Amino acid sequence: MNHQNTENTPGSSGIDEPDNDKRQRLEWFMRQQAESLPFIVWTAGPEGEVDYANGRLFELTGISPDSDPATRWQGCLHPEDLPRCVQLWKRCVKEGRDFDIEYRIFSRAENRHRWFRVRAAPIRAPDGSIGMWYGVALDIDQTKRSEAKLREQSKLLDEAQDAILVRDLEKNILYWNKSAERLYGWSESEVLGRSIEESMYVNHAQFQDAFHLTLKSGEWTGELEQTDREGRVLNVEARWTMMRDEAGKPKSILAIHTDNTERKKLEQQFLRAQRMESIGTLAGGIAHDLNNLLSPILMGVDLIRELEPDPLILQILDNIGQSARRGTDLVKQVLSFARGVEGARVLMRVEQLADEVEMIVVNTFPKGIRFQRRISDRLLPVLGDPTQLHQVLLNLCVNARDAMPDGGCLTFSAKNVDLDEQYAVMDRNAVAGRYVSIEISDEGAGMADEVKEHVFEPFFTTKGTGKGTGLGLSTVLGIVRSHGGFVNVYSEQGQGSVFKVYLPASEEVVGMDSQISPLARDSLPRGHGECILVVDDEVSILTITRQTLEAFGYRVMVAEDGAHAISVYAMNRDKIKAVITDMMMPVMDGPALIAALRRLNPHLAVIASSGLNANGSVARAVNAGVKYFLHKPYTADSILRKLNEALHGGERQDQ
């Protein structure tokens, strides 16, 4: 039986075989085994000369089995890999250590090179010398391609604008792309293996809710509040997806985070802008009504002053008129703040503003607030809007009052200062030049550094709900900057606060007194019996305007809306020399009335009156040819001068 089993085997016999035959049989057997393997097998002599490769090499490369074994393999390698392969092989043969390298072998079937991992080990004789080398070449092309694809994908992920990260179910970070490094400030090596919750979240409940929802449904989308390495708060739009293993069990969470911090800020600014636009619309309506209420007061004061000789009553009238004018200025200021309208700039003295602020503080602030005034002699004038600057100083005084609920000293100081280039370099808001420095200081609790950093931001307030809008100091800063100045604040907790307002000083003094002092009664222009049509839907304005114009030599007709005015003018067109019309009226508004009057008489003198530019009515009046405007509420002086200008081109007609 044994003979039969071995009769087809080379060298087999029924007798003992010499050692030579056994060696031949073993070699034959090993070669048969090598030829059946799916990978390349090769051998080399003690000095490294390749003497054998199995058929897998010839099938792969198309090289002839009859080629020289010592050199055939060199033609199989990629030219770029050959030098390092030869160098390593020689070193391993010389040192008698294992050979292990990756290189590319040409594939005839695919007409390209494939990656192989080639390994060889020395086979030693009993005396320790190397008898031969035995090696294999394993095809790793698919693995290398997969690695290359992963590297390419990883590079693409690093190029992505979004932060991409992977964490395990223990919340430890497994992957962290370059955008995550840019967004959060930590490098990949710093965060791998760390808990993401500990690294980036302040609101842990928010993270836990999102995490459990992802586990439950497999995905989650929403906004998260996170922090970066520097502790800055970030708002990110997060998209989380559950990753599963081959068995379908959850293994990790892929998170894609988009930085929405700046967009959120822009949205908040936009919402604030919308809010301010709404405030502006509301303020416009309120201003219209207030103007209608204040106009009769102002014109009535001028009219009574014309008829009343008693000095005591005239003094009372002056106080009433000053208060009413301040009211009209405040209405204009509301419109300026809400709609960005620039006020009129005049040359003025800070001392006068100080007088007005002191009067308000002394008469209206709690008695525990003491007012101290320190104003230098020969204070230079400033060019500005008196109402706006009055608002600046009053806002600062109100803040000082609120900082001293238990009372204290409020100090108003003003002096001339010269700021040089060195100061301008130290303070980026300053420009070298001459300024009037106004200081409002208090003895209150002071401010912490973090409060000072945000004190001028819109809607920032440390006051309780309903006690402050956060617009006071932002308005102060906006007004002062619009005047070419700047504001600095100095404060320490427990030491009070000092706000310093720097306004560019003016060397001009000519004409200042005429801006401040009241006009003389005999300077007002008078009429000579001209007939004027006054159109307004407010009866009180019609009444006082009629009385004022009649007191100064005009004849007056009135109409309560545009339609009524058309009929009055049509019946008296030969008598009426000028029309003064409100722009906002029911039935027929001012622009429509002006257009109709122009068709009846293109040369008619028309004066448009309005407290605001509602719905572009002033622009429509300009398009209709109107050249003269009165801003409500108007005084007797303004209406008389404007009427004289419309009738006579500005020449005095009071002889």
- The strand pairing partners of 221, in sequence order, are 239
Q: Which of 96-100, 253-257, 341-345 has the highest mean pLDDT?
A: 96-100
Which of 171-185, 261-275, 449-463, 526-540 is predicted with the least confidence, judged by mean pLDDT?
449-463
Confidence of residue 338 (pLDDT cuts 50, 70, 90): low
Residue 208, CB-side half-sphere exposure with 13 Å CA sphere? 5
- Taking residues 214-235, what's their average pLDDT? 87
Whether pLDDT at 568 is above 90: yes
Of 523, 524, 532, nearest to 636 by C-alpha is: 524
- pLDDT mean over 263-272: 71
Q: What is the pLDDT of residues 406-460, one digit of tens each?
A: 889 999 999 998 886 656 655 667 788 899 999 999 988 888 776 766 677 655 5
Residue 633 preceded by cis peptide, ω within 30: yes
pLDDT at 3 over 50: no
Cβ neighbors of 372 (< 8 A, separation 6 or more) are: 409, 410, 411, 412
Confidence class for position 297, pLDDT limits 50, 70, 90: confident
pLDDT tens string 22-32: 666 766 766 77
Using CB atoms within 10 Å of the CB of residue 431, give its burial: 0 to 12 exposed, 13 to 18 middle, 19+ buried: middle
pLDDT of amino acid 503: 93
Which range has the worst mean pLDDT, 251-265, 401-415, 638-652?
Answer: 638-652
Q: For 36-94, write each residue's pLDDT tens digit.
A: 777 888 888 888 888 888 888 888 888 777 777 767 777 788 889 999 999 999 999 99
pLDDT at 157: 64
What is the dotted CATH code of the domain comprising 37-145?
3.30.450.20
Question: Any idea which fold 268-324+520-655 has?
Answer: Rossmann fold (3.40.50)
Segment 304-319, tens digit of pLDDT: 777 767 777 777 777 7
Higher pLDDT, 118 or 147: 118
At residue 156, the pLDDT reads 64
Q: Are 643 and 631 a contacting pair, CB within 8 Å?
A: no
Whole-angstrom CA distances from 346 to 335, 343, 349, 368, 510 are: 19, 10, 10, 35, 11
Calpha distance 461→299 (Å, rounded): 41
Residue scoring higher pLDDT (584 or 138): 138
Is the pLDDT confidence value at 10 over 50? no
Residue 128: both structure tokens together? 């320790």
Q: Round to whole Å and give the CA distance between 448 and 223.
A: 31
Query: Percentage of residues in the chain with pLDDT exceeding 70?
Result: 77
**CA angle 247-249-251, nearest 5°?**
120
In tens, the pLDDT along 393-410 reads 988 898 889 888 888 999
Inform me whether the pLDDT recorded for 652 exceeds 50. Answer: no
In this predicted model, what pLDDT tens digit does every residue of 511-566 receive, in sequence order?
Answer: 444 333 333 445 678 899 999 999 998 887 888 888 889 888 999 999 999 999 99
Whole-number pLDDT of residue 638:
79
> Where residue 461 falls among pLDDT bands split at 50, 70, 90?
low
Bridge-partner residues for 531, per DSSP?
555, 576
Q: Which CATH class is domain 160-259?
A: alpha beta
Closest CA to 174 of 252, 237, 246: 252
pLDDT at 203 over 90: no
For 538-541, which contacts have Cβ atoms below 8 Å and span 24 or more sequence positions? 538/292, 538/295, 538/582, 540/292, 540/293, 540/295, 540/296, 541/292, 541/295, 541/296, 541/582
SS3 assignment for 376-397: CCCCCCEEECHHHHHHHHHHHH
DSSP state of 567: H
Contacts of 617 (CB under 8 A, 6+ apart): 583, 584, 589, 590, 591, 610
Q: Would you say residue 106 has pLDDT above 80?
A: yes
At 417 the pLDDT is: 86
pLDDT category, 465, cuts 50, 70, 90?
very low
* Average per-residue pLDDT for the chain: 79
What number is the average pLDDT over the span 285-301? 72
Per-residue pLDDT of 339-376, as tens digits, reads 544 556 788 889 988 888 888 888 778 889 999 999 98
DSSP per-residue letters across 197-220: HHHHBS-HHHHHHHHHHHHHHSEE
Segments making up each domain of the chain, as ranges: 37-145, 160-259, 268-324+520-655, 342-514
Q: Which fold has domain 342-514?
A: Heat Shock Protein 90 (3.30.565)
Phi/psi-derived region of residue 394, left when phi > 0, alpha when psi is between -120 and 50, beta in every other case: alpha
What pTM did the predictor assign? 0.37
> Residues 624-629: contacts with CB within 8 Å, 24+ apart?
624/591, 624/594, 624/595, 624/598, 625/594, 625/598, 626/594
Average pLDDT estimate for 95-119: 89
